[in-house]
A and B are shown apart, each in its own frame.
Chain A
């Protein structure tokens, strides 16, 4: 069931594997990084079917899926070259420098696709608020010795508090939501909120997928960055 769940979640990935015709089977196997296990993982989880994402998956197929393999990272730190591991099956072919930007752009698309329907991305500041409420409830419940606070909750709560750079999460969300009119995806908005950029160069360096629509979004991004600065908590 876990395997089926894994395959179900890789629905766009399945299309992508189909688009990798011509690449060696070994390269395909090598390029599959994520290993989804196990009984506890699959049992009891009913996977809701993904919404029809044919439009996006075809966009992914057109962009040409390439994955970076871990074995290539061991031998070379140069990611531009390492993406050729999957591509250059034969010995005689010349290495071709493949830019990293398409990989990242695909990831941003993937952010939307891999999640089940109705999933909502939370910025760290929003997560901090939600987890703070839960923490207050848990503090009362933890007086019962049978109830133990999970370690991952404590770590995630601590992480969200440390990375909460704003004093008003709702206002930040409102400011960043306006960027959707400029072809900025949910994932990119969330990343921007978490990164707390100081200028537009930083945004384009850290979120390269935004460079694709630079004419559409540059002015809006500059305005958003200026607005976000007002809500930043002083360090």
Chain B
């Protein structure tokens, strides 16, 4: 789920950047440091939408660097337990399948795939119903529910399920229109 939040960060700037374009350099450094990162609390910082306030700089003793407290607004993406997402399948194996929803990876275990779907190995491994009507393979779009999250230094990893009502394949790339 996307959120628009206000965050605060202490930015350190080398004295060589001081001058009439100090603010621009601070904002550029902020974007470079923060955009694309992942925080356990806020999730993926997708994009900075604006800088609300830059406080007074504090000179650090001994180094000459100056620390500025910067308040900024950003769009973040963070999955939550219980959330329903539409994801694209990236890999299928006998343990389950991996899917991607934006920057987030989700794993759906075979235990959380409906019992009437079985794994079919081959060039294009997939899960298929006994009558062949529904297939989950690479590039399929599935609707799943997040049931658990794990946060790493740079990414968030989720466990999902498609075993509940109204979950499962939305679009199968193998089916011709």
Residues of chain A touching chain B, judged by Cβ–Cβ distance below 8 Å, are: 2, 5-6, 9, 33-38, 40-41, 43-48, 68, 70, 73-74, 76-77, 79, 103-104, 107-108, 110-111, 114-116, 118-124, 126-127, 130-131, 134, 150-153, 155-160, 162-163, 187, 190-191, 194-195, 202, 205-207, 209
Contacts and interface: CB of A to CB of B under 8 A. Distances in A.
A110 B40 CA distance: 15
6 contacts: A35-B40, A44-B33, A46-B9, A111-B80, A119-B5, A130-B49
A114 B41 contact: yes
B2 A122 contact: yes
B49 A195 contact: no
B103 A156 contact: yes
A80 to B, nearest CB: 12
A34 to B, nearest CB: 5
Task: Indicate the member of A77, A115, A121, A150 with the most B CB atoms within 10 Å.
Answer: A150
Contact of B150 (A33, A134, A153): A33
A134 B10 CA distance: 24
Nearest to A38: B153
Contacts of A103: 81-82
Contact of B102 (A76, A116, A155, A205): A155
Task: Indicate the member of B6, B100, B167 with the most A CB atoms within 10 Å.
Answer: B6
Contacts of A194: 1, 84-85
Task: Indicate the member of B33, B38, B102 with the most A CB atoms within 10 Å.
Answer: B102
B95 to A, nearest CB: 10
Q: Determine the interface band of chain B, counting residues with CB < 8 A from chain A.
A: 35 or more
Interface string B78-114: 0011111110000000000000111100000111100
B17 interface: no
B165 A205 contact: yes
Contact of B10 (A44, A121, A152): A44
Contacts of A159: 101-103
A156 B153 contact: no
B112 A131 contact: no
B103 A151 contact: yes
Nearest to B12: A44
Given A77-B112, A120-B3, A156-B77, A35 B145 contact: no
B147 A79 contact: yes
Contact of A153 (B36, B38, B80, B82): B36
